[in-house]
Structure 1
Amino acid sequence: MKKSLNILTALSVAGLLSACVSYDLDMVAAQPGTGNAFTDALHNEYLLLALAEDHEDDWEDAKFFAERAMNAAAGMDFGPQEVKERNIPEANRKELGFARSSVINAIATGRLGPNAGHIARAQAKFDCWLQEQEENTQPEDIAKCRAEFEESMAALMAKAMPAPEPAPAPAPAPAMKMEPRTFVVYFDHDSAMIDQLANVAIANALKEAKATSPKLVLVGGHADTTGNVVYNNALSQRRALAVAKVLMDGGLTAKKMVQTAMFGEDFNAVKTGDNVNNRGNRRVEITLKY
């Protein structure tokens, strides 16, 4: 979070700058909400980020988050920051772009509903992750912002995901229509790392997708029953995002066809009791739909 100051800057000037930021943050905190529940929650989340950056003497980012808090208090709905607006390392851009798309989708479908607070927190935590990734000097701060973003998205998905509806009666299949193909990628316990066997399964799915041009590639993350539900939701989301990244690196584009979903402990392939370590349930299913 900290950014270096010129060592020749006088301490008195630094003190004045800090006092100005603190004064502004006092005014931001006192702003009454004039928008809906979503923008009011955004105001609170960005105010907390501004206070944290001010405490670290990162006045530039404190000002950035304070301005976002003020805009939210005024009822403005402005979305998460664009990845291209920050100097993000090449290796992290695609992952952050995919995460931002998830937030945009959540905002579009649920910001006016009962989960507005979770969506606002996810947006602010994404901006926190983006800001820390740009600095790229404190891995623990990057990991903290990312984890809080993933927890917010997992909590949102746990509340918002409806129960599966009964499958409708199948319509007569058109001639020569291809049936969905599913490829399964397995993971080690409490891990979202892609190992050698996982890469083989993903490569097979990628080869089939390129050969058959499905309309949709659904990447669904799952977890076994060890741990709590919220954590397993987040873990299954990380697994889905990790597999989706490999698919996109291989040539499939998120805009064209790749979608992710997380299911946590739901829909286990192997039926077990609670708190059971089972590799068959630690998986991502890549389904090609035509």
Structure 2
Amino acid sequence: MILTRVLAFGVLTIAVSGCVAGYNVDKMRTAEATGTPFTRALTAEYRDLTEFEADEMVDWHSADLYARKGLMTAEGSEVQPEAVGDWRIPEAMVPEFSDGRARLVGLLDASARTKAPEDAAIAQTRFDCWLEQQEEGHQLDHIARCRDEFYAALDRLDGAMAEAPPPAPAPAPAPAPAAPVAPQTFVLFFDFDSDIITPAGAAAIDDAIASAGSGGFTEFSVTGHADRAGAEDYNLDLSLRRANAVRDALTGRGFDLDGIFVAGRGEAEPAVPTADGVREQANRRVEIIPQ
């Protein structure tokens, strides 16, 4: 992973970081999974990767990465697949990794987490280990195994998403119902480092409310995003604050809080891919989907 390696702290820094890694790894060995079938499956897969890197490869850096992600999923949180730009991989391989991640995220967001939680967990963890092993670059068999298992899991997810229930018996002839109104995504943008809704953003919320009324929708999916300027943890919090600002605007217009589903993606899913640290207006956004 692209990390700043500061050697000036010497033996003390190495010792402290090793203790932290060992603590996370030991804690991960006995963590009890909670949450959805997907987060429980992710916990099991990240546990396997943690123990493999710690016990067989003696790679405490990689073991700590998987342990930290696994501890979050054990608490029921959904973590994202690793971002391609955070890893040192050959430039010629970036398109394949980026396309693979986009395909994975598309399936996860299209309900693969609920339709096929175990294969979804395998696909995400194998993508992470493919990236990690590719950056190391010297264990070709491990790279190939992670890559092959990733693509095999994606193919199974494609099949699961394509499955349809048996057709129901033909109903008695009746007048054709009116075509339902398809959900539409409404996007509002924010100023840099701000969660204040602008007048243009308020107009986008009004449009979403009008669309919900015409389509008979009573619930909203509200997802916040941030650009890549600033720290990743800060941007994750900022994206959630933006989503909560939109949620408050909707409840202020009379919508039930229980029908508004809020999420923050931080800088993980940019509308316009940029390098780290770049300000991009299109990525400072909240997406509203009436449903």
In the superposition, the TM-score normalised over structure 1's length comes to: 0.48
In the superposition, the TM-score normalised over structure 2's length comes to: 0.48
